[in-house]
Structure 1
């Protein structure tokens, strides 16, 4: 029989929708955060060169030194913070980095505070560590930014960790520096470790991004190249660990993952060092897509009252349509050929919403808007 931990692990609705949508022809895929851009050419060239050079053996579980140096330089160049390479553990994707951080900080029965809404998989990471999920609500009138008072209401001396995410999935909210600093102070006051998922950094449009590392060394940062550089299938991430956790996380990496592929690490290093101009152009295309979708949401009556400042997601309020969010997602897929993810997968605070990803092409965003325009027009005349 499957373990209780396995039984309690819930499906990922976005992937379920993707599976159904992939069985149909001509679907516009807005259900997953899959960038349509090819990675920076330098990344592909470096990975191919590494493979041709035979760089396909085991690497250090901590990660290749030159990549860790590049990551360290990135934090210095971007945020002006000194992150020694010794604190960086390279992992096969940012999800493994989060799992390691969770296992390193949470003992069975301890609380982990998430925002609500939150990334759909976060509760399952807490469950893998046998922790308890506690949530702090977000308000669309605040642009879904974390509310420090809401965190203070649920964080206490028995809380093991707070999991933050900015720019955020599914809301696109960017947390201000003042709020990050206040949450760091709350963590210090209650001896609560902060886990900061920063995998969408580099994809902010109208707000200044801040890393939690600007305010403390005693936090985990989880990041990677998947979202920023369109390298989702490369599976390359990292954890910046508080100094006292580095050896423990490395031991778990040795046992659970062994190492990230060295030729992938070569590609990631090239992306980090040479992808700045590439990213600037990509970010502007995302901004255009966001604006198209925000305008459409207002026209449809789905406007939540905010504009996402980062990442590539928008929550649509479909509470005025017949049925629940799952029903609406089914209609959009079956009748319009547009795939979106039902909001309840992201927490009770998103139960009236659909999450639309504008990581797909600008042409596809326009096509999806036209299809939903036609669907809603037909509904009002029948």
Structure 2
């Protein structure tokens, strides 16, 4: 039963994010070793900040078109057309990638439709599915080093399957799907006439080669992206989605009745991103990835190969309890990490974000070395 008689039944399907609870805990701690935050630790580039102030001073403070400010939308559409060359591919600027995901779910999923989700998953996926009446069909990837097993996917497809939710580089694992997996998933979706949504918000954080997007092999694939992670502007809420024109048009109509539009002055500021080089930041994160993976493995932790985003997803060492119990002990030692059960139906791993200084990472590794010894 809902906690209050006025609340809709659907609100029983979710609680406050476990990640948010860790953030709230961090705010009360004096000097936490915070390896929990899923946002870049570098500041937004000065060029973007100055462009935002300029847009506000120039009174670009009203609504934009629902589809997005024309100047930004045109630049994004040009880039999408150059990359994919799909004749029927259209683009919509959204209120963050979360806005894009919400609009896509509302536009695609009927009550009772099945949505394939890969475990571990971004915390939002199953909840969004259930909020629109969909049925999450969860495919475990632990035994495959968090890569996509295409045989498992094909076995999970039924006449009720409507959508596959795919995220690479992945949150929480940091794993980048192989070319073979991305292509196979694209071809499976086309074969069965199933919508495929590729969440590529961490696309710029690929450390071992370019991201293989399913849109390369499936011209009906829906792609979600944004500026938040790549440019350190998570609070700006500027995302975008591109895909088949009839779907994008309907998502734009839904946006009119929900988000209305993404923040207009910040849309104009985001245009500056097209001429801003973030290579030094990406290179720094690659070095941190190498450093933390080496440190964890040297300490005795099992870590799957990770090629992107800014997360690792170590397994709790044998004999050290569940992930929730292990993270509780970490927090008692002032180390903030996220228990894997927030992202999974298993409680065996935990998420570390290396979007932190090397000094903070080293402090965290020292705590983790102590915890593995008991």
> TM-score interval w.r.t. the shorter chain?
over 0.9
Instruction: Flag the 1:10–1:319 CA change in 2: closer, same or farther, 3 A.
Output: farther
Asked whether 1:354 is paired with 2:350, we answer: yes
Question: Do the aligned partners of 1:17 and 1:31 also contact (CA within 8 Å) in 2?
Answer: yes
Could you tell me which residue of structure 1 aligns to residue 146 of structure 2? 144
Could you tell me which residue of structure 2 aligns to residue 340 of structure 1? 337
Deviates more, 1:164-173 or 1:10-19: 10-19
Instruction: Flag the 1:333–1:84 CA change in 2: closer, same or farther, 3 A.
Output: farther
Alignment coverage as a number of residue pairs = 369
Cα distance in 2 for partners of 1:285, 1:76 equals 30
Could you tell me which residue of structure 2 aligns to residue 59 of structure 1? 64
Instruction: Flag the 1:87–1:260 CA change in 2: closer, same or farther, 3 A.
Output: same
Could you tell me which residue of structure 2 aligns to residue 35 of structure 1? 40
Cα distance in 2 for partners of 1:317, 1:123 equals 22
Q: 2:127 aligns with which of 124, 127, 132?
A: 124
Q: 2:217 aligns with which of 183, 202, 215?
A: 215
Q: 1:95 aligns with which of 98, 105, 113?
A: 98
Give the drift of 1:139: 3.3
Cα distance in 2 for partners of 1:197, 1:178 equals 18
Cα distance in 1 for partners of 2:177, 2:137 equals 20
Structure 2, unaligned stretches of length 5 or more? Answer: none
1:44-98 deviation per Cα after TM superposition (whole angstroms, max 9, x unaligned): 1111110011110111000011111222233356xx3136897111111100100
Cα distance in 1 for partners of 2:87, 2:311 equals 33
Once superposed, which parts of structure 1, at least 4 consecutive aligned residues long, lie more than 4 Å away? Answer: 83-86, 374-377
The TM-score normalised by the length of structure 2 is 0.94
1:148-191 deviation per Cα after TM superposition (whole angstroms, max 9, x unaligned): 11111101332010000000111111112332221122112222
Question: Do the aligned partners of 1:176 and 1:208 also contact (CA within 8 Å) in 2?
Answer: no
Asked whether 1:369 is paired with 2:365, we answer: yes
Question: Do the aligned partners of 1:163 and 1:197 also contact (CA within 8 Å) in 2?
Answer: yes
Question: Do the aligned partners of 2:89 and 2:244 also contact (CA within 8 Å) in 1?
Answer: no
Cα distance in 2 for partners of 1:239, 1:312 equals 22
Q: 2:236 aligns with which of 224, 234, 237?
A: 234
Q: Secondary structure, in 3 states, of the residue corresponding to 1:114?
A: strand
Give the drift of 1:286: 0.8
Asked whether 1:328 is paired with 2:326, we answer: yes
Cα distance in 2 for partners of 1:135, 1:164 equals 12
Question: Do the aligned partners of 1:72 and 1:85 also contact (CA within 8 Å) in 2?
Answer: no
1:302-335 deviation per Cα after TM superposition (whole angstroms, max 9, x unaligned): 223x221000110111142433211111111112
Cα distance in 2 for partners of 1:261, 1:104 equals 22
Question: Do the aligned partners of 1:72 and 1:83 also contact (CA within 8 Å) in 2?
Answer: no
Q: Secondary structure, in 3 states, of the residue corresponding to 1:241?
A: strand
Question: Do the aligned partners of 2:148 and 2:181 also contact (CA within 8 Å) in 1?
Answer: yes
Instruction: Flag the 1:16–1:330 CA change in 2: closer, same or farther, 3 A.
Output: same
Q: Secondary structure, in 3 states, of the residue corresponding to 2:84?
A: coil
Question: Do the aligned partners of 1:42 and 1:274 also contact (CA within 8 Å) in 2?
Answer: no
Cα distance in 2 for partners of 1:321, 1:282 equals 38
Q: Secondary structure, in 3 states, of the residue corresponding to 2:327?
A: helix
Instruction: Flag the 1:73–1:28 CA change in 2: closer, same or farther, 3 A.
Output: farther
Give the drift of 1:364: 1.3
Q: Secondary structure, in 3 states, of the residue corresponding to 2:23?
A: helix
Give the drift of 1:143: 3.4
Question: Do the aligned partners of 2:52 and 2:265 also contact (CA within 8 Å) in 1?
Answer: yes
Could you tell me which residue of structure 2 aligns to residue 312 of structure 1? 310
Could you tell me which residue of structure 1 aligns to residue 281 of structure 2? 282
Question: Do the aligned partners of 1:15 and 1:32 also contact (CA within 8 Å) in 2?
Answer: no
